[in-house]
Structure 1
Amino acid sequence: MRRPRGFGPARPVLPAVAAVLLLASAATACGTERADTTGGVGAATAAPRTSVTDPPVDGVRITSVTIPTASQTRDSTPTPTPTPSRSLGLVHADPLPTGSGDSAGPGDSGISAVYEITNDGSESLTYTVLFTFTTSRGEVMSSKRETVRAVGAGRTVRGTVELGVLVPGASPVTTAKVAEVTKVPAAEAPADADVCPSSGIRLTADEGDAAMGLRVVGLHLENCGKKDYSLDGYPQLSLLDEDRRPVEGVQILQGGDSISTGTGYDDPPSPLTLKPGETAVSGLIWRNTTEAGLDAVTVPYVRVRAKSGAAPVIVTPHLDLGTTGKLGVGAWKRADR
């Protein structure tokens, strides 16, 4: 009996067609591609992550850094990676994602560092960490400050800090460092700009100004609540060392002119009432001169009360008082509009 035509021995499949069918089958079965570390078609182009073994600084350490090569930065034109298509097993090139949100965009370096914070204390703390991104010779090319709120006692939290845009002409960054750590009890930390404390008053310190050894740091008191807030006098200050213990031997003087004239905080106090949305300012004024043979004094923390009975807020102006032993404080005044 003859076999119907077409049912003879199986014919060999052409190699090119077999390769396409095999690729399509693998895509259907797995759903996604695996990274190809051989550098062939479909090879992954993720930036390398390098482990960091530097010891922690006050409970904060960097565990790894990610530094893309020049061809992997977001401002370069990505090379499309071939991915399988569901139609007939053919292969086409899909564009790579360019990132999402405000953190991505042209010029973004793609450099980042993964860090962890361990609170080995007995109370919840808010950490502010200054990270620096450096060259192989230790030159700082950029820095970022991160605030991590309410890290519970005995807890470890992790996060990522991104360098963002690197200034043109900067030397290649090779690693990241923990440059500075400040930590305050979570209940006394300055509130974020979009958060109003239960007191209805948000107190913060600015970055300050320095010239010829004279230092001025502004204190800003905003009525973010719904009721009027009255002031008449000077902020109440307590100076604290790195362990947040009282610093002795420093005089706190009223008025900026007790240190230098022309600071903007020389006027005596006068009563004022802040309506919701209004702000008052004061200032911390000092000199950092140092006399030979005397120990210089640095005060990292200042506990501030807007007035008697107000909730305390700890700011971190890092007062480099030298050997002067004096700190001036200005009276509250209405902020210039």
Structure 2
Amino acid sequence: MRSLLLPASALLLLTACGTQQAGSSSGASASSCPSDPSWAEEGGVRITGLRGAACDRVEFEVTNDGSEAFTYTVSFTFASESGAAMSSGEETVESVEPGRPVRRTVMMTGAERVSIAQVRSVPVDETPSAGGACPASGVRVYADQGDAAMGLRVVGLHLENCGTEPYRLNGYPEVEILDEEHEPIDSVRILKGGDAIAMGTGADAPPRPLTLAPGERAQSGLVWRNTTEFGEPVNAPYARIWAKPGAAPVTVIPELDLGTTGKLGVGAWQKEEQDQQPERPAS
């Protein structure tokens, strides 16, 4: 939903990789992969080295400086020697405990530079779930990839009853907007109904009581515009969602670029038809 312009200083030049000694029968590399202590670091994630015969295995380390376990989503950009973006990659690192760094590897193919494009983190207890084991709450809640057109943004919220008991909903999910430091942003008005922002978004139906049998799903939506006029634009990566009062919160990552509009529309829960397949999240 948005593009990133990457500074050349944040990139690792890899063109020295993979050269071989003339006449070498072993095929071993004559020079090791480049090493630089000033390699890019952002949001608790640091590139620590390059490995492999072609220096195409990028090693990185995730450090959690908080007080609870987080799941991290790390986005990388792979670029040409000139810095032109060629491709991207994303890795999810689950359950990083405070003070216990975790190392992972991401593969890079056909590029000479790599940068950390973006780091997002969600408390383990609030991680969205689109599949796998059913959470203790008995429901899965997650956001889809969303849609953007002419400055209008719509991100779907999806809830699935994966438990064994009926799950009742009545009205709107509760939403709290969070900044990059996971701190609440109180300057944005949360409005009921997508039609508070624009008509025809699919998030403007009136609220009504719902009972979801095991296996049934419901959907809501976040609707906003990124119009920028006078004032300070608001960019908020995270939204904490409570499906209903008393429910366990889930933190999704809709990347809210609210401009200076100061408002976000939230649709009422509506039951999804059984043959309607909800859009799955990108990660």
Same fold per TM (> 0.5)?
yes
Which of 185, 193, 197 is equivalent to 2:135? 197
Contact 1:48-1:67 within 8 A present in 2 as well: no
- String of CA shifts for 1:176-207, please: whole Å, max 9, x gaps: 11111111221111135213111111111111
Amino acid across the alignment from 1:314: T
Flag the structure with higher helix content.
1
Which of 301, 309, 317 is equivalent to 2:254? 317
Residue 57 of structure 1 corresponds to which residue in structure 2? 42
Residue 25 of structure 1 corresponds to which residue in structure 2? none
Change in 2 beyond 3 A, CA 1:147/1:193: same
- String of CA shifts for 1:191-245, please: whole Å, max 9, x gaps: 3521311111111111111000000001111111122111111111111111111
Q: Distance in 1 between matches of 2:178 and 2:153?
A: 18
User: How far off is 1:44 after superposition?
Assistant: 3.8
User: How far off is 1:137 after superposition?
Assistant: 2.1
Q: Distance in 2 between matches of 1:270 and 1:48?
A: 64
Residue 7 of structure 2 corresponds to which residue in structure 1? none
Tell me if 1:139 matches 2:65. Answer: no
Q: Distance in 1 between matches of 2:26 and 2:60?
A: 31
Residue 41 of structure 1 corresponds to which residue in structure 2? 25
Amino acid across the alignment from 1:328: G
User: How far off is 1:274 after superposition?
Assistant: 1.5
Counterparts in 2 of 1:191-230, with a 5 A limit?
191=129, 193-230=131-168
Contact 2:130-2:141 within 8 A present in 1 as well: no
Q: Secondary structure at the match of 1:51?
A: coil
User: How far off is 1:45 after superposition?
Assistant: 7.0
Contact 1:112-1:160 within 8 A present in 2 as well: yes
The TM-score, its normalising length taken from structure 1, stands at 0.70
The TM-score, its normalising length taken from structure 2, stands at 0.83
Which of 303, 316, 324 is equivalent to 2:240? 303
Q: Structure 2, unaligned stretches of length 5 or more?
A: 1-19, 277-283
Q: Distance in 1 between matches of 2:56 and 2:104?
A: 14
Q: Distance in 1 between matches of 2:156 and 2:181?
A: 23
Change in 2 beyond 3 A, CA 1:286/1:178: same
Change in 2 beyond 3 A, CA 1:48/1:191: farther
Residue 87 of structure 1 corresponds to which residue in structure 2? none
Counterparts in 2 of 1:231-242, with a 5 A limit?
231-242=169-180
Residue 266 of structure 1 corresponds to which residue in structure 2? 204
Q: 1 or 2 for the larger relative contact order (CA 8 Å, sep ≥6)?
A: 2
How many residues are treated as equivalent by the alignment? 254
Q: Secondary structure at the match of 2:125?
A: helix
Counterparts in 2 of 1:164-203, with a 5 A limit?
172-191=110-129, 193-203=131-141
- String of CA shifts for 1:295-331, please: whole Å, max 9, x gaps: 1111111110100000000111111110100100011
Change in 2 beyond 3 A, CA 1:41/1:335: same
Q: Which structure: larger Rg?
A: 1
RMSD of aligned residue pairs (Cα, Å)? 2.2
Contact 2:40-2:115 within 8 A present in 1 as well: no
Flag the structure with higher strand content.
2
Which of 161, 166, 171 is equivalent to 2:106? 161
Q: Distance in 1 between matches of 2:119 and 2:218?
A: 29
Contact 1:290-1:323 within 8 A present in 2 as well: yes
Contact 2:21-2:30 within 8 A present in 1 as well: no
Q: Distance in 1 between matches of 2:34 and 2:133?
A: 36
- String of CA shifts for 1:236-262, please: whole Å, max 9, x gaps: 111111111111121111111110001
Q: Distance in 2 between matches of 1:63 and 1:192?
A: 31
Amino acid across the alignment from 1:227: E
Q: Distance in 1 between matches of 2:30 and 2:62?
A: 26
Change in 2 beyond 3 A, CA 1:225/1:64: same
Which of 104, 124, 129 is equivalent to 2:69? 124
Amino acid across the alignment from 2:148: A
Q: Distance in 2 between matches of 1:39 and 1:309?
A: 71
Amino acid across the alignment from 1:181: V
Q: Structure 1, unaligned stretches of length 5 or more?
A: 1-35, 70-109, 167-171
Counterparts in 2 of 1:12-161, with a 5 A limit?
39-44=23-28, 49-52=33-36, 53-66=38-51, 111-161=56-106
Q: Distance in 1 between matches of 2:57 and 2:133?
A: 27
